[in-house]
Amino acid sequence: MEGIALILIGFFALVAFFSANAGMQVRQGLNPLTGLPGALLPPLLVMMVFAVFHYLLRALKLRSEQILFPVVCLLLIVGLVMIWRLRGPEGIWQQILRGLFPGLLAAAFLVAQPVWIERIRRRAVPIGILGLGLLILTGIFGSVDETGARLALKIGPLPAIQTSEPLKLILIIFLAWFIARQSKAAESRTSILFGRLRLPALGHLFLGVLSAGLAALSLVLMSDYGAVLILGCISITMLYAGFETRTFLDIIAIGLIMSLVMGLVLSVTWKIPAVIQYRFQAYQNPWSQEMMMVDGRSTGVTIAEGPGYQVQQAIYAVIAGGISGSGLGFGSPNYVPLAHSDFILAAVVEELGAGIGVAVLFLFAVLLLRIFRPIFRLPPGRVFDRLLLVGIGIHLFTQVFVMAGGTLNLLPVTGVTVPFLSLGGTALLTNLVEVGLVLALIRRQEDTNDHV
Amino acid sequence: MDWNLILFITKWATIGLFYAVLLLLLFGVYREMSQNPHKVTPVKPVPNGRLRVISAGDDGHLRQGSVLDISADNRLGADKDNDILLRDSYVSRRHARLRWDRANWWVEDLNSKNGTMVDRHRCTPGVPYPLTVGSILSIGDMSFELIDQDTGYADGASKTGCLTTGGRHSPDLDWVLCPGRLFFG
């Protein structure tokens, strides 16, 4: 199953890279075969690495999961084609060498040594402290990008690390550990208010405040709204999943408490940040000729020229693509700012078509279900493992949801990367480590089933 | 060479190959779902099930992990005339009744003082509640897992205990409705 899928993916990669290369050369009036070896080298290399990983999974007898890895491979190939198309060899080698290879290596290590999940669980506190340290270091020494966010940390000669990406995984691990530790003790401590509304126990309340505080802290330190959104979604979902809940009132209570804390922090430190103000104006009408307002004052730039531009171009790209797309190399996704990272879905839809765009979202849905599937099969008592799976699934889901919505102006734009597609070494590395954790959990569960 | 034609072919080949992989993967998911162990227990005229002790409370006569044989109709409680004698101090004298109706196991609380719980759901006294393989039955401080007589262990799918025999909703939906049971079931 996995093998056949990988062979098909290999053919897909070769055809896609060939047609992308030919299309780009034809457009410049050159012979379509120019530069073909350089274009075919990355897919061949990547497919070889996929094959090695596949044989590793077979050697480790991971029988029950044949879908997850091919889905990830297909998404990676789509992302690599688009990155090669948009950023040339430089971009694709950066993606492969800084994200794909180390990520698959880490995933392979985790699958081969599932014991490390247990070790990670036992070291959740140091890992959490490490994350907090990274956050503070980035907040102080991080480099500022064009939107004013501090995300990247550059240490010595090493390439810059997007610290906010591993931070999300660290939050998942820490919350999973904390809730799992609390769960046994906290079960009987829910207090009942007004007959229906069951307030969470104090430990949970504290946890909600803690994660809201963490998100607020990263907001203050990093000014990155995408990261805050994802951290918030992860913590609220994991708290919800970790509770012994029967009604949605509980989660509303947690949400209210968390927003209260966030609101308090923000009202002390800040007004509504300017970025959010004008992004929301652009969300209401990207083509509006009204002035962009910050704190009620005009900035002298119309919304259509300012923050609306990116959304307009993304929508134009989607329209230009149509159902079957312009063909690789024949579209103009370069008009969309950040088409190679945040807005890669717009580029995919323009050049490969809405047909493949929908299929990509479908693949993400399959991926999410495959990540959640082991939850039903784990023996009782593995609260940490279940919560880890929930957190990882929600992390991937939120990223796709926010960016798919942002590309079509169904949601206000928030800059997050699309997992497995966007250019970004650290983000890809983190996502592949998460896939490795899922596969390792499945392998460990298979082992215990055999020994029953 | 007519490059327009070749590029047209490669464009559609890209789309076709992508969909081929997608359909293959969906077929894999479908095949796996059709041989899924999430099935309603087939009707078996003979009672099929045993109770494994998960927590023995302060009953010194039972050991954690030991397995109790049960018949088609069992009365559970602290009194000596019960079929299954539970000596835990939180168990009432006539606590609960566990019976087999030729298809499913049902547990009925007999107005006990501390109640009977199935997968952490408190049973209303006098109302039978269905048990499946893998369900956790809590009586006083003691808890038991209903296990399959033939295989000796609860199958992985129903271990979450969300699969009720009523079949009102699928287990895949159940985690949305009662996520807590995923983790504590």
**Separation between Cα atoms, residue A249 and residue A245, nearest integer Å:** 9
Over the stretch A273-311, which tens digit does the pLDDT of each residue have?
677 778 888 888 888 888 877 777 777 788 888 888 888
- pLDDT band at B174, cuts 50/70/90? very low
Over the stretch A191-207, which tens digit does the pLDDT of each residue have?
444 444 555 555 556 66
Inter-chain residue contact B12 with A324, CB threshold 8 Å? yes
**Separation between Cα atoms, residue A304 and residue A317, nearest integer Å:** 16
Q: In the predicted model, what is the mean pLDDT of residues A58-82?
A: 90
Inter-chain residue contact A18 with B10, CB threshold 8 Å? yes
pLDDT number for residue A198: 52
Cα atoms found within 13 Å of the Cα of residue A312, Cβ hemisphere only: 14
Q: Which chain B residues are within 8 Å of A365, Cβ to Cβ?
A: none
For A248, residues 6+ apart whose C-beta sits below 8 A from its C-beta are none
Which of B94, B61, B57 is CA-nearest to residue B79? B94
- Which region among A396-400, A448-452, B100-104 has the lowest average model confidence (pLDDT)? A448-452
Query: Identity (one letter) of the amino acid at B2?
Result: D
**Separation between Cα atoms, residue A369 and residue B172, nearest integer Å:** 10
Inter-chain residue contact A240 with B178, CB threshold 8 Å? no
pLDDT number for residue A306: 80
Work out the mean pLDDT of chain B and round it to a whole number: 73
Inter-chain residue contact B24 with A8, CB threshold 8 Å? yes
- pLDDT band at A188, cuts 50/70/90? very low
The DSSP 8-state label assigned to residue A334 in this structure reads G
What ipTM describes this predicted complex?
A: 0.86
pLDDT number for residue A187: 47
Residue with tokens 């896609």, as numbered in its chain: A16
Chain B residues with at least one Cβ partner in A under 8 Å: 3, 6-8, 10-15, 17-22, 24-26, 28-29, 32, 120, 136, 153, 156-157, 159-160, 171-172, 175, 178-180, 182-185
Over the stretch A106-121, which tens digit does the pLDDT of each residue have?
999 999 988 888 888 8
pLDDT number for residue B120: 77
- Which region among A98-107, A239-248, A365-374 has the lowest average model confidence (pLDDT)? A239-248
Q: Nearest residue of B to residue A349 by CA position?
A: B15
**Separation between Cα atoms, residue B29 and residue B39, nearest integer Å:** 17
Q: Which chain B residues are within 8 Å of A1, Cβ to Cβ?
A: 24, 28
* B98 close to B76: Cβ distance less than 8 angstroms: yes
Q: In the predicted model, what is the mean pLDDT of residues B101-127?
A: 82
Q: In the predicted model, what is the mean pLDDT of residues B64-70?
A: 79
Q: In the predicted model, what is the mean pLDDT of residues A152-177?
A: 81
Q: Which chain B residues are within 8 Å of A327, Cβ to Cβ?
A: 7-8, 11
Identify any residues that bridge with B142 across adjacent strands, giving them in sequence order: B56, B139
One-character DSSP codes across A73-119: HHHHHHHHHHHHHHHHHHHHHHIIIIIIHHHHHHHHHHHH-THHHHH
- pLDDT band at B90, cuts 50/70/90? confident
Over the stretch A309-352, which tens digit does the pLDDT of each residue have?
888 999 999 999 889 888 888 888 888 888 888 899 999 999 99
pLDDT number for residue B36: 55
